[in-house]
């Protein structure tokens, strides 16, 4: 019954015109009143997601885990954390989602396990045993010093001493997350079996965490090695041979020229997140200068036809500043993380609305820029209602507080006692659940939620945003980000003003002479493109999207 | 050797395209076509007359597409062909009794066909063994093609196909299995399994002759001054509807049918969607005198709706008919038979399969009474008796409430408020439709919307 083909027309490129929605299951809805969100809770809220227009939900890790890294420390790859429910609950969620035309992908960490994983326990206690060589062990902490330390705030080294085995083990992330040894063919096979387990259940794909680090080699920084790509190609080939219409979405927080390697020749990952463009959208707004966005897109190589960028404004992690220069990072910290508590590792642990000081124009403008770029947008739960964060909670918990459904007790997230909740919901006067919640915004026609839904619907009416070319427009006004998207006969002109003040811009639209720009929200026809540069004026933080149409069609 | 698959793919694209585009069941006439292609053609019969079930993909600007089923026959000679290919005439197979019969016989024999990337599954559910001698088109549908065999059996071939089980097959099967008497029982079906989709291709069900559908009979009775006689039958229709909903909600073990508690924000989602429709509609209202009673009152309507979003109890959500109006009920002389469980064909299948409040069907029927009253005037110049529509509504609701499982619907004033939301949703949809298609009928939904406003003002 959960064969996905039953509810979808086959479309190997579905992800290219999809809108994704990222869910932290623990935070979304509590279906069994125990204070923690679960899979049944997500299933209950599918109607909401369908209404919003979401095509695919991405669930953060669901696996049994000691939860020392939000579940990215997996202790069993083929089971569901008891707080979230059962494998059967997951199967039912997939089925219910498919019946609503929604696909489901889930996080999978390929690089490492929790130190609680039985594989690691066997490896440390029985070096000569069947799992002895499943992790990366060394007698010294010397090798591979070129590899950077990612969790700078907590980890002094990528090696940690294990007193049980009497050796060091390698870990690119927390010391409780030992890296798997991909040089061992059994590890490679075991992870393929994990993928199959979930694919057989009907899952539509994976968001693959931390993939640049699978292998280690002398004299390298241990990132983006050819061996890692080779293994990912093998994963892709196995999936293509046995399953249809799946997606592999790679998390590779790297520069575009390195990330594109993960697309291979269209035979590796289907999608990769475009990490570097994200902080530049924020930078552009703060500096009132669109240049950073133009530049990073200029620097982005073309990708194979059957691949797609994943675009996002915010997610469950800190707003990562790994892919900016030191100066840019200082600038971002100064502007967006005035309180040191807002910083984490190389990033800023805040949600979209507080980053924008709750500015509605700014939030809408950022969505417009993201939705206009080549790629598929990924929304983060709660950002569609402008939820806030709690910087007094540890690690990244501040951006993982309970979804705010109503103004009632616990924000409608759970019927459990307040003290039982996994984290307190936001209760401050600006972002608290009494001020910001789904129920109230459903009732308010001008709410952010209702605007986002209309915007999602508009984007989905125009496959050009997912499939079309990107052609930047040079303007004499650096405060304007303008470009053209084109797919078959659909031509869309997107013009965004990143400044706090009204702006005028002259666009060189000579190649569209005679065509009529029709504003896409209100379907208002603007004057046709003539001989002179096309003059537009935009209010502060304003944008226009036009469909360029033949005069007879308007 | 005869190879209908090859022949199908060899039909000149222009010829097949012209044929499809000129058919009544091709629903996207106003759209600009970018691409037309046969994507599959499973072979059902390899002796003359040959039969292949072509699936054609029609892509539109800007990038969306639809799939249609086109059963194609091939004979050496045939009067009305689509094209000539390699000495064979390709033609519309449903115009050929022999091939129509082939489809039903395959269902009866459960004789699947497989080949290439697709398989067509044929299944029988009944015992019927009508002789299938005479075949005639049913003739009144637009979006599909139905054929009647000997006044015993109907074969309904879906034209536009979509991934997923057609709700008509699901609902008829469910209601047939549970012995619900007021339908034309399911006798069999055909389904396509493979690339690019899994879809229901056709169903067979009993033929019910009947004396006319509810719409025809309502107008006839109003024309002949027997409007109030007909009201009594509407009470019966209400009872039948109530029973239908109770049966549809009777199996909590079947996940596709088990009644569910709507999620907490169900009503909020519904009213928000209707609100968006109202806003969009009022933004684009043309300058027509018929619109006078509601023009400029968009905000009032929305205000009204906002009040309703607090309606509280909304009952349960269940599988419903989905496109319920007088034309979907057939009078047999002693009772009603409910027809056409496809749902609104313009909506995608995932939407049509959704569980909803049964009151949405009820609201559809109530709006249909308003249409009947006005149509009597517009089409026949007959004014319905004073208060006819009100009495029709009361009778239908009385019958409905006497039979429907009370756990499915909210009680008292919450019921009335929910009905208002659904009627408003329906009237807004009607207004858009009439503005686009039948300007002469615009005043019907306008009156409906105005009345909901007046009722609210009380």
Strands B329-331 and B212-213: antiparallel
Q: Are A137 and A168 in contact (CB under 8 A)?
A: yes
Q: Which are the contacts of A20, defined by CB distance < 8 A and separation ≥ 6? A: A54, A55, A56, A57, A58, A310, A376, A377, A378, A379
A contact test, residue of B33, B118, B264, B301 with most A CBs within 10 A: B264
Query: In the predicted model, is pLDDT for residue B1 greater than 50?
Result: no
Domain boundary among A439, A461, A483: A461
Nearest Cβ partner of A47 from B197, B266, B275? B266
The answer as to whether A452 is a domain residue is yes
Q: Which are the contacts of A5, defined by CB distance < 8 A and separation ≥ 6? A: A244, A245, B163, B197, B198
pLDDT of residue B303: 85
Query: In the predicted model, is pLDDT for residue A365 greater than 70?
Result: yes
Of all helices (H) and strands (E), which one includes residue B188? strand B186-194
For B256, list phi and psi in degrees, rounded to 5.
Answer: -75, -20
* Cβ <8 Å between B268 and A442: yes
pLDDT of residue A218: 94
Task: Looking at the structure, tell me whether residues A514 and A368 fall in a common domain.
Answer: no
Q: Note the residue count of chain A.
A: 554
pLDDT of residue A3: 44
Distance CA A38, CA A24 (A): 9
* Cβ <8 Å between A490 and B195: no
Indicate which CATH number applies to the domain containing A296. 3.20.20.80
Query: In the predicted model, is pLDDT for residue A50 greater than 90?
Result: yes
Angstroms from B377 CA to nearest CA on chain A: 37
Angstroms from A520 CA to nearest CA on chain B: 13
pLDDT of residue A456: 97
pLDDT of residue B284: 83
The predicted-structure confidence for A137-154, as pLDDT tens digits, reads as follows 999 999 999 999 998 889
List the CATH code of the domain at B212-457: 3.90.1200.10
Mean pLDDT of chain A: 95
Nearest Cβ partner of B350 from A3, A99, A445? A99
Describe the crossing of helices B266-283 and B412-437 by its angle, rounded to 10 degrees. Answer: 30
Q: DSSP assignment of A114-150, as one string? A: -TTSHHHHHHHH-TTSTTTTSB-EESSS-S-TTSPPS
Domain boundary among A461, A491, A523: A461
pLDDT of residue B439: 87
Angstroms from A7 CA to nearest CA on chain B: 5
Q: Are B73 and B41 in contact (CB under 8 A)?
A: no
Contacts of B255 in chain A (CB under 8 A): 95
Distance CA B40, CA B19 (A): 17
Contacts of B264 in chain A (CB under 8 A): 405-406, 412, 439
Measured CA distances, A306 to A311, A466, A469, A477, B18 (Å): 16, 11, 14, 35, 32
Distance CA A384, CA A507 (A): 32
Can you give the residue range of the structural domain that contains A80? 4-111+185-461
The maximal CA–CA distance of chain B, rounded, in angstroms, is 77
Nearest to B326 by CA among B415, B246, B233: B233
By CA distance, what is A31's nearest residue in B? B263
* Cβ <8 Å between A6 and B164: yes
- DSSP E strand stretches across B62-132: 65-75, 83-85, 88-92, 113-115, 118-124
Distance CA A216, CA A229 (A): 13
Those residues of chain A whose CB sits closer than 8 Å to some CB in chain B are 3, 5-11, 17, 44-45, 47-48, 51, 95, 99-101, 405-406, 412, 438-439, 442-443, 445, 450, 453-454, 462-464, 467, 487-490, 522
Nearest Cβ partner of A47 from B61, B164, B263? B263
Task: Looking at the structure, tell me whether residues A483 and A428 fall in a common domain.
Answer: no
Contacts of A406 in chain B (CB under 8 A): 264-265
* Cβ <8 Å between B264 and A405: yes
Give the pair of three-digit tokens for residue B365.
Answer: 């029927």
Task: Looking at the structure, tell me whether residues A456 and A478 fall in a common domain.
Answer: no
Of all helices (H) and strands (E), which one includes residue B242? helix B227-248
Please, is A527 exposed, middle or buried when counting C-beta atoms within 10 Å of its C-beta (0-12, 13-18, 19+)?
A: exposed
Query: Binning pLDDT at 50, 70 and 90, where does residue B128 land?
Result: low
Task: Looking at the structure, tell me whether residues A443 and A507 fall in a common domain.
Answer: no
Angstroms from A378 CA to nearest CA on chain B: 21
By CA distance, what is B305's nearest residue in A? A443
Please, is B2 exposed, middle or buried when counting C-beta atoms within 10 Å of its C-beta (0-12, 13-18, 19+)?
A: middle
Q: Which are the contacts of A423, defined by CB distance < 8 A and separation ≥ 6? A: A27, A390, A393, A397, A400, A401, A402
* Cβ <8 Å between B62 and A9: no
By CA distance, what is A490's nearest residue in B? B62
The answer as to whether A91 is a domain residue is yes
Q: How many CB pairs under 8 A join A and B?
A: 95
Task: Looking at the structure, tell me whether residues A370 and A266 fall in a common domain.
Answer: yes
Nearest Cβ partner of A463 from B64, B262, B302? B64
Task: Looking at the structure, tell me whether residues A336 and A412 fall in a common domain.
Answer: yes
Angstroms from A10 CA to nearest CA on chain B: 5
The predicted-structure confidence for A375-426, as pLDDT tens digits, reads as follows 999 999 999 999 999 999 988 899 999 999 999 999 999 999 999 999 999 9
Distance CA B186, CA B203 (A): 7
Distance CA B382, CA A319 (A): 70
The predicted-structure confidence for B31-60, as pLDDT tens digits, reads as follows 888 889 999 999 999 999 999 999 999 988
The predicted-structure confidence for B311-352, as pLDDT tens digits, reads as follows 678 899 999 999 999 999 999 999 999 999 999 888 899 889
By CA distance, what is B57's nearest residue in A? A9
Give the pair of three-digit tokens for residue A11.
Answer: 């479309």
Query: In the predicted model, is pLDDT for residue B127 greater than 70?
Result: yes
* Cβ <8 Å between A45 and B272: no
Indicate which CATH number applies to the domain containing A479. 2.60.40.1180
Query: Binning pLDDT at 50, 70 and 90, where does residue A108 land?
Result: very high
Of all helices (H) and strands (E), which one includes residue A348? strand A347-348
Q: Are B400 and B241 in contact (CB under 8 A)?
A: yes
* Cβ <8 Å between B63 and A490: yes
Domain segments of chain B as ranges:
4-206, 212-457
The answer as to whether A43 is a domain residue is yes
Catalytic residues of A: 209, 251
Nearest Cβ partner of A438 from B255, B265, B271? B265
The answer as to whether A457 is a domain residue is yes
Q: How far is CA B52 from the centre of its chain?
A: 26
pLDDT of residue A345: 80
The predicted-structure confidence for B181-208, as pLDDT tens digits, reads as follows 999 999 999 999 988 899 999 999 999 9
* Cβ <8 Å between A442 and B162: no
Nearest Cβ partner of A488 from B63, B195, B269? B63
Task: Looking at the structure, tell me whether residues A388 and A492 fall in a common domain.
Answer: no
Higher pLDDT among residues B412 and A172, named by residue: A172
Query: In the predicted model, is pLDDT for residue A216 greater than 80?
Result: yes
The answer as to whether A173 is a domain residue is no
By CA distance, what is A51's nearest residue in B? B269
Contacts of A489 in chain B (CB under 8 A): 34, 61-62
* Cβ <8 Å between A7 and B163: yes
CB under 8 Å, gap of 24 or more: what pairs does B15-24 form?
B15/B82, B15/B83, B15/B90, B16/B54, B16/B56, B16/B70, B16/B82, B16/B83, B16/B90, B19/B70, B19/B82, B19/B92, B20/B56, B20/B58, B20/B68, B20/B70, B23/B159, B24/B142
Contacts of B263 in chain A (CB under 8 A): 44-45, 47-48
The sheet with strand A469-472 has its strands ordered as A469-472, A480-487, A490-497, A543-549, A516-519
The domain total for chain A is: 2
For A388, list phi and psi in degrees, rounded to 5.
Answer: -100, -165
Those residues of chain B whose CB sits closer than 8 Å to some CB in chain A are 34, 61-64, 67, 162-165, 195-198, 255, 262-266, 268-269, 271-273, 275-276, 279, 283, 302, 306, 309, 348, 350-351, 353-354
Distance CA A272, CA A248 (A): 8
Angstroms from B321 CA to nearest CA on chain A: 18
The answer as to whether A153 is a domain residue is no
Q: Which are the contacts of A65, defined by CB distance < 8 A and separation ≥ 6? A: A71, A72, A73, A74, A75, A81, A114, A116
Give the pair of three-digit tokens for residue B18.
Answer: 């012209």
Task: Over range A299-326, report the average pLDDT.
Answer: 93
Q: How far is CA B68 from the centre of its chain?
A: 17
CB under 8 Å, gap of 24 or more: what pairs does B373-377 form?
B373/B222, B374/B441, B374/B443, B374/B444, B374/B447, B375/B219, B375/B441, B375/B444, B376/B219, B376/B222, B376/B223
The answer as to whether A93 is a domain residue is yes
* Cβ <8 Å between A464 and B62: yes
Residue B64, Cβ neighbours under 10 Å: how many? 16
Task: Looking at the structure, tell me whether residues A431 and A493 fall in a common domain.
Answer: no
Domain boundary among A409, A429, A461: A461
pLDDT of residue B2: 56
Query: In the predicted model, is pLDDT for residue B62 greater than 70?
Result: no
Give the pair of three-digit tokens for residue A546.
Answer: 């036009």
pLDDT of residue A515: 97
B contact test, residue of A10, A33, A44 with most B CBs within 10 A: A10
Task: Looking at the structure, tell me whether residues A479 and A446 fall in a common domain.
Answer: no
A contact test, residue of B39, B193, B263 with most A CBs within 10 A: B263
Contacts of B276 in chain A (CB under 8 A): 445, 450, 453-454
Q: For Cα atoms A215, A169, A70, give the angle at the middle one, nearest 5 degrees.
A: 80
- DSSP annotation of A104 reads E
Mean pLDDT of chain B: 91
Task: Looking at the structure, tell me whether residues A294 and A407 fall in a common domain.
Answer: yes
Q: Are B220 and B212 in contact (CB under 8 A)?
A: yes
pLDDT of residue A4: 40
Higher pLDDT among residues A345 and B69, named by residue: B69
Task: Looking at the structure, tell me whether residues A226 and A315 fall in a common domain.
Answer: yes
pLDDT of residue B139: 75
Q: What is the dihedral of CA A139, A143, A147, A149, to 10 degrees?
A: 30
């Amino acid at each position: 019954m959960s064969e996905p083909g039953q509810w979808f027309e086959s479309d190997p490129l579905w992800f290219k015109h999809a809108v994704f929605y990222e869910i932290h299951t623990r935070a979304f809805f509590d279906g069994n009143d125990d204070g923690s969100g679960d899979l049944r809770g997500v299933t209950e809220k599918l109607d909401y997601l369908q209404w919003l227009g979401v095509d695919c939900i991405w669930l953060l890790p669901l696996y049994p885990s000691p939860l020392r890294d939000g579940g990215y420390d997996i202790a069993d790859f083929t089971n569901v954390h008891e707080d979230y429910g059962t494998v059967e609950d997951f199967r039912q969620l997939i089925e219910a989602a498919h019946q609503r035309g929604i696909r489901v992908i889930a996080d999978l960490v390929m690089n490492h396990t929790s130190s609680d994983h039985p594989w690691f326990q066997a490896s440390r206690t029985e070096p000569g045993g069947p799992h002895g060589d499943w992790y990366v062990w060394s007698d010294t902490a010397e090798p591979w010093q070129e590899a950077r330390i990612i969790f700078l705030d907590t980890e002094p080294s990528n090696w940690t001493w294990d007193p049980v085995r009497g050796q060091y083990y390698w870990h690119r992330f927390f010391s409780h997350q030992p890296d798997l040894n991909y040089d061992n063919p059994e590890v490679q096979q075991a992870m393929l079996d994990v993928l199959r387990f979930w694919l057989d259940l009907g899952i539509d794909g994976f968001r693959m965490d931390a993939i640049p680090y699978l292998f280690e080699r002398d004299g390298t920084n241990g990132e983006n090695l050819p061996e890692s790509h080779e293994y990912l190609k093998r994963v892709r080939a196995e999936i293509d041979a046995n399953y249809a219409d799946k997606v592999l979405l790679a998390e590779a927080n790297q520069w575009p020229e390195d990330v594109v390697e993960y697309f291979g020749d269209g035979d590796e990952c289907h999608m990769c997140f475009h990490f570097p463009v994200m902080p530049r959208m924020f930078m552009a707004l703060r500096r009132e200068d669109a240049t950073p966005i133009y530049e990073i897109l200029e620097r982005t190589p073309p990708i194979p036809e059957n691949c797609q960028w994943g675009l996002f404004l915010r997610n469950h992690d800190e707003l990562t500043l790994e892919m900016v220069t030191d100066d840019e990072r200082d600038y971002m910290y100064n502007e967006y993380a005035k309180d040191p508590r807002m910083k984490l590792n190389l990033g800023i642990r805040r949600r979209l609305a507080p980053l924008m000081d709750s500015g509605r124009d700014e939030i809408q403008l950022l969505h417009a820029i993201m939705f206009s770029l080549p790629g598929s947008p990924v929304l983060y739960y709660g950002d569609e209602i402008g939820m806030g964060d709690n910087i007094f909670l540890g690690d990244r918990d501040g951006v993982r507080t309970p979804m705010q459904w109503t103004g009632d007790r616990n924000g409608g997230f759970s019927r459990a006692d307040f003290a039982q909740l996994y984290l307190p919901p936001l209760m401050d006067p600006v972002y608290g659940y009494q001020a910001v919640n789904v129920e109230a915004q459903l009732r308010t026609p001008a709410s952010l939620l209702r605007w986002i839904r209309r915007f999602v619907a508009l984007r989905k009416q125009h496959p050009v945003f997912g499939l079309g070319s990107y052609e930047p427009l040079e303007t004499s006004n650096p405060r304007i980000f303008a470009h053209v998207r084109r797919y078959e006969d659909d031509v869309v002109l997107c013009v965004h003003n990143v400044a706090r003040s009204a702006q005028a811009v002259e666009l060189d639209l000579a190649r569209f002479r005679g065509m009529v720009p029709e504003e896409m929200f209100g379907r208002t026809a603007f004057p046709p493109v003539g001989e002179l540069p096309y003059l537009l004026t935009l209010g502060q933080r304003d944008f226009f999207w036009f469909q360029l149409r033949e005069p007879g069609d308007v | 050797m005869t190879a209908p698959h090859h022949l199908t793919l060899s039909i000149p694209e222009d010829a097949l395209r012209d044929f499809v585009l000129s058919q009544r069941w091709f629903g996207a006439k106003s759209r600009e076509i970018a691409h037309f292609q046969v994507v599959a053609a499973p072979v059902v019969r390899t002796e003359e007359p040959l039969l292949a079930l072509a699936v054609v993909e029609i892509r539109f600007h800007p990038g969306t597409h639809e799939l249609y089923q086109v059963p194609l026959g091939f004979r050496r000679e045939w009067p009305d062909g689509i094209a000539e290919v390699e000495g064979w005439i390709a033609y519309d197979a449903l115009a050929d009794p022999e091939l129509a019969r082939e489809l039903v016989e395959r269902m009866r024999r459960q004789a699947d066909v497989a080949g290439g990337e697709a398989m067509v599954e044929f299944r029988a559910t009944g015992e019927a063994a009508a002789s299938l001698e005479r075949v005639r088109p049913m003739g009144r549908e637009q979006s599909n093609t139905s054929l009647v065999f000997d006044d015993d059996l109907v074969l309904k071939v879906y034209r536009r196909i979509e991934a997923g089980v057609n709700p008509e097959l699901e609902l008829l099967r469910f209601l047939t299995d549970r012995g619900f008497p007021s339908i034309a029982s399911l006798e069999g079906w055909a389904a396509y399994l493979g690339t690019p989709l899994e879809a229901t291709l056709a169903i067979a069900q009993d033929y019910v002759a009947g004396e006319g559908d509810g719409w025809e009979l309502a107008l006839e009775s109003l024309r002949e001054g027997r409007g109030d006689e007909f009201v009594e039958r509407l009470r019966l229709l209400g009872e039948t509807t109530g029973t239908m909903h109770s049966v549809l909600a009777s199996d909590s073990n079947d996940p596709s049918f088990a009644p569910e508690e709507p999620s907490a924000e169900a009503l909020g989602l519904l009213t928000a969607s209707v609100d968006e429709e109202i806003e969009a509609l009022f933004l684009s209202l043309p300058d027509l005198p018929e619109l006078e009673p509601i023009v400029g009152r968009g905000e009032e309507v929305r205000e009204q709706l906002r009040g309703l979003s607090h309606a509280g109890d909304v009952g349960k959500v269940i599988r419903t008919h989905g496109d319920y109006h007088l034309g979907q009920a057939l009078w047999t002389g002693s009772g009603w038979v409910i027809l056409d469980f496809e749902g609104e064909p313009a909506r995608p299948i995932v939407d049509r399969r959704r569980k909803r409040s049964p009151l949405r069907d009820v609201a559809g029927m109530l709006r249909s009474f308003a249409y009947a009253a006005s149509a009597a005037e517009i089409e026949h110049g007959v004014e319905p008796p004073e208060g006819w529509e009100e009495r029709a509504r009361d009778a239908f609701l009385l019958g409905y409430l006497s039979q429907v499982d009370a756990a499915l619907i909210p009680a008292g004033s919450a019921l009335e408020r929910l009905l208002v939301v659904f009627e408003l949703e329906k009237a807004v949809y009607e207004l858009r439709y009439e503005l686009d298609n039948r300007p002469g009928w615009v005043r019907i939904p306008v009156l409906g919307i105005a009345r909901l406003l007046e009722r609210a003002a009380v």
